[in-house]
Chain A
Amino acid sequence: MAERLYGMLGEFDSPEGLLAAARQARAAGYRELDAFTPFPIDGLAPILRIPRPWISVVGLIGAFSGAGAALLMQMFTNYDYPLNVGGRPLYALSAFAVVMFELTILFSALAMLVATLWQNGLPRLNYPVFAASRFHLASKDRFFLCVKGQDPMFDDQGTAAFLTDAGAASVERVPP
């Protein structure tokens, strides 16, 4: 083989078909699997052994940074330019709460957006699977299971036969 393929793409016409095939692939010993679906499929993550994402942790870090930044900013501005308004306290936490809350949300939401894109490796406008002739259906009503070329079990003929046996409506090689 001149160059290793990106993988072998099997097309299924229902989420159930995809789930069953993914389960069989795991059982057959394939480890480097991915699926491409038009909407998130419940129950796919445990089969493909996808670890729990930690986007929410990033969101939490963002939240604390936002709250901290807002508090420090408001403390500092009142320290640097103290203004006595009817003898009210300079460092008025109750008055600072609103901006603190807003920045908590703002930083958290932005951090999660950036983290999601970053971890997903997006934006990346081209990707090997797009070369597959039927892949445009992955955003319509078809569900694709991909056995990647780097899988130690990957074998051009064998994997194609396996996917067909698992019920794939079409099987296609994805060039690297």
Chain B
Amino acid sequence: MSDRSDILPRRQSMGGIADQLTGIPLHFPAERRWVIAMAFASALLLLLMISVTELFTRGVGIWGINIPVNWAFAIHNYVWWLGIGHAGTLISALLLLTGSEWRNSLNRFAETMTLFAVVCAGIYPILHLGRPWYVYWMFPYPATMGVWPQFRSPLEWDIWAVLTYLTVSLVFWYTGLIPDLAAARDRATGRGWQIFFGITSLGWRGSAIHWLRWSQAYRVTAALAVPLVVSVHSEVSLLFAAGQIPGWHSTIFPPYFVLGAAFSGFAVVAIIAVALRSWFGLRNLVTDEHLDVLGKVLLATGLMTGYGYVFEVFDALYSGEPHDMRTLLDRVAGVYAWIYWGAVLLNFVPLQALWWRGVRRSGWALLLISISVAIGMWLERDMILVTSLYRDFLVSSWGKFTPTFWDWSTYLGTIGLFLVPFLIAVRLIPMISIFETKELLHEEKQEARHG
């Protein structure tokens, strides 16, 4: 070994990597497990369809929302899903620009995760509309009514931010995918696969000048995607911070939301990384080193999110504003105190185990901590919404929020909406970037040769 440790084991060949990774879609190794997972995911998706049908038939009254808690599961799941998506972009784009080679084994499925998480997020505001068939009113079109959307409202910014994010994520994902689709095309033997990869790879042939243009486009898109992530989740936080509700109206919100998003997203990336590598035997590509780095990033973003918690409390205390103090007290000692303390507990207590190297390098430990963080962040988003709203300025309008069956079924259903396309993607496309892995392996070998 050279003095600096390599992230990929050097004792493998480029051709071997290409065969192994294109082999996953072409000669699928885990058919039975995939079918079981797909059956489970499809059941959840079916649940979503039933819930949405019920919702569209009877209206948002089937959920537990009412005055004063009129934003609950729909918006909190929206924020949660969107936040998960952000880690995919950060891993791919930010780490591409900083030249962190360990991203190469993770970026493809992280980006795929982003795409489908954003889809799950995106449907929620539409479901929440009450009259979802009027969603096109959000777009500026020359209406016979003579009105235009209100561009000075964060609610209008939202649709632009989410749709832009979805489109740019798709562009970035596909741009990075083209060379790998070509690699799969050249390995494919079945007629169907040849046609599928032949068309989707657009005839990519790896010409030097093509690579040059491609690299420039890819890197600049990455450079655009990083500020985009920050802008999108900051904009989401403005949905809250631009209102005057105590517990929302705070300048810490944009960074607090962005960091929390990255935190929950990295947790889900870790879950998927551990699952995929044990599922498809990818230990030679998603190594313990990768888990180690993921664990460190998770710990770092977790501590930053923790800073957000501290500052939120400080903000309320420092303002001395009675309503802000009231909300703070409601959070830590009200009827929903368990949500607050549940979030604190699940987010930050198991996380501390990641200070130990042995824990970071163990797939199981990282998986359990990540699940805890994903649930903890879900509780946090719930806490931000419900505990701020349930006690309004006027005592006469105080109320409570209890999720109904349909709240839960819609939420569980979106997990199906995430898993079904994700599993299809696992089945159809190379889930680890082939050419970037080869490039890294080549660099490592070269470095070893030249000392």
- A residues contacting B by CB (< 8 A) are 15, 34-41, 44-45, 48, 50, 53, 55-56, 59, 73-74, 77-78, 80-81, 83, 85, 88, 92, 95-96, 98-99, 101-103, 105-106, 108-110, 112-113, 115-117, 119-120, 122-127, 129-130, 136-141
Q: Is B208 an interface residue (CB 8 A)?
A: yes
On whether A113 and B160 interact (CB within 8 A), knowing A38-B183, A81-B147, A130-B205, the answer reads: no
Please state if A109 and B206 are interface contacts (CB–CB under 8 Å).
Answer: no
CA–CA, A103 to B213, complex, Å?
Answer: 23
**Beta-carbon contact of A38 and B205 below 8 Å:** no
Q: Is the CB of B213 within 8 A of A53?
A: yes
Contact partners of A123 in chain B: CB under 8 A: 199, 202-203
A112 neighbours in B (Cβ, 8 Å): 217, 220-221
**Residues in chain A near residue B442, CB distance under 8 A:** 15, 39
Verify B164–A40 contact, CB threshold 8 A: no
In the assembly, what is the distance between CA of A101 and CA of B15, in Å?
Answer: 43
- Contact of A110 with B206 in the complex, beta carbons under 8 Å: no
Given A55-B213, A105-B224, A109-B171, residue A125 in contact with residue B207 (CB < 8 A): no
Please name all residues of chain A whose beta carbon is closer than 8 Å to the beta carbon of B205 when the two chains form the complex: 36, 127, 129-130, 138
- Say yes or no: A106-B149 contact (C-beta < 8 A), given A56-B220, A59-B220: no
Contact residues in B for A81 (Cβ distance below 8 Å):
146-148
Chain A binding surface, main DSSP class = helix
Quick check: B167 and A109 within 8 Å, CB to CB? yes
Tell me if B204 and A122 are in contact (CB < 8 A).
yes
Given pairs A80-B148, A122-B202, 7 additional interface contacts (CB within 8 A): A53-B209, A98-B154, A101-B231, A102-B160, A115-B217, A116-B214, A125-B199
**A39-B439, A81-B147, A98-B161 in contact; A110/B167 too (CB < 8 A)?**
yes
Give B207-235 interface residues, CB cut-off 8 Å to A: 207-217, 220-221, 224-225, 227-228, 231-232, 235
Task: Determine if B164 and A83 form an interchain contact, defined as CB atoms under 8 angstroms apart.
Answer: no
B182 near A: Cβ within 8 Å?
Answer: yes
Could you give 20 example pairs across A and B, Cβ below 8 Å?
A: A36-B205, A36-B206, A36-B207, A44-B208, A45-B208, A59-B221, A78-B148, A81-B146, A81-B148, A95-B151, A99-B157, A101-B227, A102-B157, A109-B168, A109-B171, A116-B214, A120-B209, A125-B202, A139-B182, A141-B18
